[in-house]
Amino acid sequence: MTESDPANVLVVDDESSICWALERLLSEEGHHVQTAGSAERGLEIAAEQPIDLVILDVRLPKQDGIAALPEFVRVTSGAPIVVMTAFGDLKTAVAAMQNGASDYLIKPFSLENVTQTCRKALMAARAHQRANQEPEAAPSSKSDAPAAVNQLVGTSPAMQQVFRQIALVADSDLSVLITGETGTGKELVAAAIHQHSRRRDSTYLPVAPVAMNPDLIESELFGHVKGAFTGAAADRAGLFERAAGGTVLLDEIGDLPLGTQVKLLRVLEQGEYCRVGDVEPKQADVRILAATHCDLSAAVRNGTFREDLFYRLAGAQLHLTPLRNRPEDIGPLCESFLKQWNYPAAADAIQPELLSALAARPWHGNVRELKNALQHASVVARGRPLVISDFPQPTPGKSESASSTDVVSRLQADVARWMKQQIDSNPESASDLHESFLRVTEPILLEMALEQTSGNRVKAAELLGIHRGTLRDRLRTYGISEGSEKERLPKK
Ligand SMILES: Nc1ncnc2c1ncn2[C@@H]1O[C@H](COP(=O)(O)OP(=O)(O)OP(=O)(O)O)[C@@H](O)[C@H]1O
């Protein structure tokens, strides 16, 4: 079977509109698509004929998708299964991956997203077949997972993506770079990755090299031998040795000295390190997670962070959105914190009016600031429903100019990530990336310019600094017509 061969795809969803849309989309891709409205019917179809890919909804009328997953893996002899759900939390995402799903789609999804996910799943399955390996057995359902795993709260699409990413990376030994402003929950995410990994019963060690004595960072991380430096009176194990079998979180990785970065790269690439003063390499049996609130790609450009280490870490990157850009998480976060503190009638303590007032705040310190402010307010309110005057004043943020620098830095980091993703997803046939990039980004520029100028093409061309003939040609290329500007803009 080659990449371009049609595949037998089974879509299992009780929403007929979803079945219809996926059937049309995947048929256009050349696949044979069958649909089923329940897990039971889907399993009957899969038992009757070979299936190459299953797209399975979580909420189904009788047996739900997660419970039916191992049976789908079994009857399809290990075909990739993409799970879809309208409301993902960390538990569902992890359960899907642990029960044998190969990927996870969050509704509502774009058709582009579905196509890409299915292509990726089929490519991986075919590479697997070509390698002539036995199909993997369905992993057993791990109902004995720790009960208190779901500490990360959030219902926003951004948090659901985070849950999905945690579930995707947790079971591997991949190092993950967790980025996001201060207080967005990077350390909590690192702990969740460890909790859901096969290393969960071993040590989880979060360390912040920035808090260590700069002269002793390497000795702290890798250990030292007696006499390595003045004061090294005996051999001493470092953090990597103490966390053997487990996971180390290197917090504020951007502050790691350049010399230590080289040694860390050796751990990541060769799985070994030397104690300070020793030449005998030791095997590093640790999973490394790294977190930073600063823009590492800018640090690479400034020469304070090694490019090779950045790309080694940024292979799996998980970004946490600032709280101000996901205000729908404020309510669930407040309720969860109030419940943790046994606040009376926690579910009703935050009324819609207060929620709107809280959503309007900038939360520069993100969830940490919200948690602290809520704690203050709950003390002031003494058990009654909270009001905005119970809360302390918001903390001042950075200046506007600093935040526009942030936008540029983030954009540059995103472009670098996009480029890497394109190359990684298709290493052999990546080409025309400059054109592809323009196809993704140029329509946004054109549409924004037209929106700003209320559709006046002369003014829009001026704003963009291009000739209006060029603008007309580009609009035609992308199929942007006078009336379509608004529709094509990303939903806010
Ligand atoms: N999604 C979340 N659900 C519940 N609690 C959260 C969430 N995100 C953050 N918190 C809480 O907010 C506080 C800050 O979280 P954390 O220390 O993980 O942030 P951080 O991004 O690592 O911050 P920093 O960059 O300053 O180290 C913690 O008390 C954490 O429990």
pLDDT tens string 208-227:
887 777 778 888 899 888 88
Strand partners, 34: 10
Instruction: Please indicate, yes or no, if residue 178 is contained in any of the structural domains.
Output: yes
Query: Quick one: what percent of the chain has pLDDT higher than 70?
Result: 87
Alpha carbon nearest to ligand 1 atom 8, residue: 185
Ligand 1 neighbour 468 (Cβ under 6 A): no
Per the CB < 8 A criterion, the answer to whether 135 and 114 are in contact is: no
Per the CB < 8 A criterion, the answer to whether 168 and 220 are in contact is: no
Alpha carbon nearest to ligand 1 atom 29, residue: 368
331 and 272 in a single domain? The answer is no
d(CA 43, CA 47): 6
Domain boundary among 368, 390, 412: 390
Which alpha helices (H) appear in 303-432, and where do they start and end? 307-314, 330-340, 352-359, 366-381, 400-425
Ligand 1 neighbour 90 (Cβ under 6 A): no
Is pLDDT at 87 greater than 90 in this prediction? no
Return the pLDDT at 467. Answer: 83
d(CA 311, CA 177): 10
240 and 372 in a single domain? The answer is no
What CATH number should be reported for the domain holding residue 243?
A: 3.40.50.300
Return the pLDDT at 54. Answer: 93
**Digit-coded pLDDT (tens) for 164-183:** 899 989 888 899 999 999 99
Is pLDDT at 487 greater than 80 in this prediction? no
What CATH number should be reported for the domain holding residue 445?
A: 1.10.10.60
Ligand 1 neighbour 375 (Cβ under 6 A): no
The conformation of residue 141, written as its DSSP 8-state character, comes to P
Pocket-testing residue among 181, 188, 319, ligand 1, by greatest number of atoms within 8 A of Cβ: 188
Strand partners, 433: none
Pocket-testing residue among 178, 366, 367, ligand 1, by greatest number of atoms within 8 A of Cβ: 367
| Residue 118, token pair as written in the block | 């299915």
Distance 90 CA to ligand 1 centre (A): 16
Q: Which atom of ligand 1 is nearest to the CA of 152?
A: 3
Is pLDDT at 47 greater than 80 in this prediction? yes
Instruction: Please indicate, yes or no, if residue 367 is contained in any of the structural domains.
Output: yes
Instruction: Please indicate, yes or no, if residue 415 is contained in any of the structural domains.
Output: no
111 and 190 in a single domain? The answer is no
Return the pLDDT at 225. Answer: 86
Ligand 1 neighbour 338 (Cβ under 6 A): no
Name the pTM for this structure: 0.63
Pocket-testing residue among 161, 187, 324, 366, ligand 1, by greatest number of atoms within 8 A of Cβ: 187
Quote the domain boundaries for residue 290. Answer: 172-225+235-320
Ligand 1 neighbour 183 (Cβ under 6 A): yes
Is pLDDT at 381 greater than 80 in this prediction? yes
Distance 479 CA to ligand 1 centre (A): 44
Ligand 1 neighbour 371 (Cβ under 6 A): yes
For 433, other C-beta atoms within 10 Å of its C-beta total 12
15 and 104 in a single domain? The answer is yes
What CATH number should be reported for the domain holding residue 380?
A: 1.10.8.60
Is pLDDT at 134 greater than 80 in this prediction? no
Average pLDDT over the chain reads 82
| Residue 120, token pair as written in the block | 């990726």
Domain boundary among 390, 412, 442: 390
Ligand 1 neighbour 126 (Cβ under 6 A): no
23 and 88 in a single domain? The answer is yes
**Digit-coded pLDDT (tens) for 3-12:** 556 788 999 9
Extract the runs of DSSP E, i.e. beta strands, from 264-357: 272-273, 282-283, 287-292, 317-320
334 and 213 in a single domain? The answer is no
Distances (CA, A) of 90 to 143, 178, 193, 309, 341: 15, 16, 10, 29, 22
269 or 399: which leads in pLDDT: 269
d(CA 277, CA 4): 55
332 and 313 in a single domain? The answer is no
Distance 365 CA to ligand 1 centre (A): 10
Return the pLDDT at 11. Answer: 94
Return the pLDDT at 436. Answer: 80
Q: Which atom of ligand 1 is nearest to the CA of 190?
A: 18
Q: Which atom of ligand 1 is nearest to the CA of 320?
A: 21
Return the pLDDT at 248. Answer: 93
**Digit-coded pLDDT (tens) for 254-276:** 988 888 899 999 999 999 888 88
Per the CB < 8 A criterion, the answer to whether 471 and 455 are in contact is: no
Region of residue 210 (phi > 0: left; psi between -120 and 50: alpha; otherwise: beta): alpha
Domain boundary among 108, 130, 152: 130
Distance 410 CA to ligand 1 centre (A): 21
Alpha carbon nearest to ligand 1 atom 25, residue: 182
Q: Which atom of ligand 1 is nearest to the CA of 371?
A: 12
Return the pLDDT at 417. Answer: 66
Rounded mean pLDDT, 397-419 = 62
Per the CB < 8 A criterion, the answer to whether 120 and 163 are in contact is: no
287 and 195 in a single domain? The answer is yes
Q: Is 284 exposed, middle or buried (0-12, 13-18, 19+ CB in 10 A)?
A: buried
272 and 345 in a single domain? The answer is no
Instruction: Please indicate, yes or no, if residue 36 is contained in any of the structural domains.
Output: yes
Return the pLDDT at 122. Answer: 80
The conformation of residue 62, written as its DSSP 8-state character, comes to S
Q: Which residues contact 270 (CB under 8 A, 6 or more apart)?
A: none
d(CA 492, CA 484): 16
Instruction: Please indicate, yes or no, if residue 213 is contained in any of the structural domains.
Output: yes
User: Quick one: pLDDT band at residue 145, thresholds 50, 70, 90?
Assistant: very low
Per the CB < 8 A criterion, the answer to whether 394 and 363 are in contact is: yes
Alpha-carbon Rg for the chain in angstroms: 26
Return the pLDDT at 139. Answer: 32
Per the CB < 8 A criterion, the answer to whether 117 and 103 are in contact is: yes
176 and 316 in a single domain? The answer is yes
Is pLDDT at 149 greater than 50 in this prediction? no
Per 3-state DSSP, the chain is made up of helix, strand and coil in percentages (nearest 5) of 50, 10, 35
Is pLDDT at 429 greater than 60 in this prediction? yes
Q: Is 413 exposed, middle or buried (0-12, 13-18, 19+ CB in 10 A)?
A: buried
176 and 299 in a single domain? The answer is yes
The conformation of residue 453, written as its DSSP 8-state character, comes to T
- H or E element at residue 249: strand 247-250
Ligand 1 neighbour 322 (Cβ under 6 A): no
Instruction: Please indicate, yes or no, if residue 153 is contained in any of the structural domains.
Output: no
Is pLDDT at 125 greater than 90 in this prediction? no
What CATH number should be reported for the domain holding residue 77?
A: 3.40.50.2300
Q: Which residues contact 5 (CB under 8 A, 6 or more apart)?
A: none
Ligand 1 neighbour 446 (Cβ under 6 A): no
**Residue closest to 29 by CA, chosen among 11, 43, 41:** 11
Instruction: Please indicate, yes or no, if residue 330 is contained in any of the structural domains.
Output: yes
305 and 379 in a single domain? The answer is no
Instruction: Please indicate, yes or no, if residue 155 is contained in any of the structural domains.
Output: no
Is pLDDT at 148 greater than 50 in this prediction? no
Amino acid identity, residue 433?
L
Alpha carbon nearest to ligand 1 atom 28, residue: 368
Ligand 1 neighbour 368 (Cβ under 6 A): yes
Number of domains making up the chain: 4
Distance 320 CA to ligand 1 centre (A): 10
Ligand 1 neighbour 443 (Cβ under 6 A): no
Say whether the ipTM exceeds 0.85: yes
